[in-house]
A and B are shown apart, each in its own frame.
Chain A
Amino acid sequence: MLQINELHAGVENKKILKGVNLEIKPGEIHAIMGPNGSGKSTLSSVISGNENFEVTKGSVKFLDENISELGPEERAHKGIFLSFQYPVEIPGVSVTNFIKTAINENRKAQGLEDMPASEMLKLIKSKADLLEIDRKFLSRSLNEGFSGGEKKRNEIFQMAMLDPKLAILDETDSGLDIDALKIVANGVNKLKSKDNAVIVITHYQRLLDYIVPDFVHVLIDGKIVKSGTKELAYELEAKGYDWIKEELVS
């Protein structure tokens, strides 16, 4: 589904990713862990097409197509979704109106008519229920004055609505208390199928108790330096990252 080859990327003159290789197949959950500043968020931004980052070398293929030249909306149309670490506040547009626009823009790209209002309403209701989202919440301005937990829950709500093939969850666990974390993780698990894939970017092993990864990768200084199964996450939680760095030096 996703193939990243020797990817180098950065901002202006700062190199951040220095040769990332990663392959993700349908049905898989991959966790990417690593210390602050190792390039985790840059990787998710680059996959989803943030134009603030420049790809200097390597390629990103999605469904066997090189997507390096595609804009973020085109990648979204193909089925890539990024749950933001810091969702942007947009006063003046309600959650409902935003998601309706997004759904219909995606349909338009697929050559479909707008979704009928009644169908939209039903879909919104079922996905809001899945994430235990209050109806009042949906008429509020997008992310404006939302708590950390509400913002993240809203991200996963959008994911549920858009039903992507590849979802990247960028530090979705940060700012969540344990109850919110369970709701979010439960939502992600229910959306999971053999046809879609998830990348979980996190600092901590905590989220991985609920969203259980098939593979765990360690990103340090712009490179994936170690890959393993979920046991690797426990080891990182217990021992930190220094032992890997030492391993690398020796």
Chain B
Amino acid sequence: MNLKDKLVSSYLAFDDHLEDDSPIHEIRKKAIHTFEEEGFPTKKEEDWKYTSLKSILNKDYSVFPKGNKDVKFKKVRNYFLYDIDSYKLVFIDGVFSTFLSETTHDGLDICLLSAALSKSKYKAVIENYYNKAAAKNSISSLNTAFAREGAYINIPKNKEVEKPIEIINFSTGNESALMVQPRNLIVVGENAHVQIIERHQSLTANPVFTNSVTEIFAEKRAYLDYYKIQNDKENASLIDNTTIHQEQNSNCKVHSFSLGGKLTRNNLNFIQNGEHCESTLKGVTILKDKQHVDHNTLVKHNAPNCESHQDYKGLYADSSTGVFNGKVIVEKQAQKINAFQQNNNILIDDNATVNAKPQLEIFADDVKCSHGCTIGQFDEDALFYLRSRGIGLKEAQALLMYAFANTVLESVKIPELKRRINKLIANKIGVNIGFDI
């Protein structure tokens, strides 16, 4: 049985256990219908032209993991940014881990989506926001049909969350092949501030296929800083579907550090609904072997006087492949928009490939939009400069790669995260210098 058929029949079994009258049930039924009609995206679709899912769909994934496996804190400690100075929502093989998590209901909600979906006190928020931002395409619909667990974060008006929130999904290898579909709902209230770090981490070499959906709503003057750390094992693949709706004067930033995994697809959508919004999308991609990352971004300017900044940098070694497909839409009413998009790539080996496709659709007449894209090798003058100081060719190249990727880090607001990512990048590139950051 192929994966699609397996998923559709699994849904029928799953559906038997659901309460019939819940509004979520209706949403699920509609979603599985969409997936059944459309199936997994193929390269025939324009948006998936450069990414084939074939190599990950041919595994016999467990869709509902057998049970929860304990993971010792000591074993996974390095994947957390802080031992205690953060809120944590930890999921093991798709199941919430009470032991590793630190939730709260004290003046804000940082808890489980499963609780939010079932308890009446969250009903109003769920009705207002749940599945309102997620794309209605087949891959997001697949998540919507099965979504049971994930992060539920609701920050009330004027609340400045004092420590970062870490959302971590571990897979243990308890299943020979595992498919998980985390679902996160995040509401950042008016003038509220929050920093979130999201990570998917396999702990073994067993295949994992994660199809994740994150819906984010940033109300007026809300400030969101979101970091995605994608440094997974060689058999772990991820389709990340994140949509952010922004209201007036809100400021949202997403940094994606794509440094590992087998196949990663980032569908990152920003929808600006109010004036004076600011959106920032930054990415560092460092790949080797046959790794593949596809950044598919959309910024939709629906209101005037807004800004968006995109800056994606990629370093590709061996036979790795990358895609940057960045779409900016400026609607007719959205005058005085500043939209910038930059995508720079360095191909380290002849077999590495990058496909870059900027798309601008501008319907307003008073806008400033720019996009730039480069695919190149090393700057000869810079190499000579470094070598003339006694730095060997290989080290000079490494230093330039490090410098190239490092410029994206300037906007990382959490010093400890910056230090970690810096170290990760230096390790990936093989720069062995005692940098004190």
Q: A residues within 8 Å of B by Cβ? A: 48-52, 71-73, 75-77, 81-82, 84, 87-88, 90-93, 97-98, 100-102, 104-106, 109, 114, 117, 141, 158, 162
Contact = CB atoms under 8 A, between A and B. Distances in A.
Nearest to B392: A73
Contacts of B389: 73, 76, 98, 102, 105, 158, 162
A238 B404 CA distance: 48
Given A73-B391, A88-B381, A158-B389, 14 more contacts: A49-B388, A73-B387, A73-B388, A73-B389, A87-B385, A88-B379, A90-B386, A91-B403, A91-B407, A92-B405, A92-B407, A100-B433, A101-B391, A105-B391
A97 to B, nearest CB: 5
B387 A72 contact: yes
B135 interface: no
A75 B79 CA distance: 44
Contact of B388 (A82, A91, A114): A82
Contact of A102 (B382, B390, B434): B390
A105 B387 CA distance: 10
B435 interface: yes
Most buried by B among A71, A92, A100: A92
A51 B384 contact: yes
A93 B387 contact: no
B205 interface: no
A93 B433 CA distance: 12
Contact of B390 (A51, A77, A97): A77
A122 to B, nearest CB: 15
A82 B384 CA distance: 11
Chain B interface size band reads: 20 to 34
A88 B390 contact: no
A100 B391 contact: no
Most buried by B among A77, A105, A106, A141: A105
11 contacts: A50-B388, A72-B384, A73-B388, A92-B402, A92-B407, A100-B434, A101-B433, A102-B386, A104-B434, A105-B389, A162-B389
Contacts, number: 84
Contacts of A50: 384, 388
Nearest to A78: B390
Interface stretch (B28-36, B38-46, B287-295, B393-401): B393-401
B311 to A, nearest CB: 12
B28 to A, nearest CB: 47
B305 interface: no
Contact of B391 (A52, A82, A102): A102
A102 B391 CA distance: 6
Contacts of A90: 382, 385-386, 400, 403
A72 B388 contact: yes
A105 B404 CA distance: 21
Given A90-B403, A100-B433, A114-B434, A105 B388 contact: no
Given A52-B380, A88-B385, A114-B434, A105 B392 contact: yes
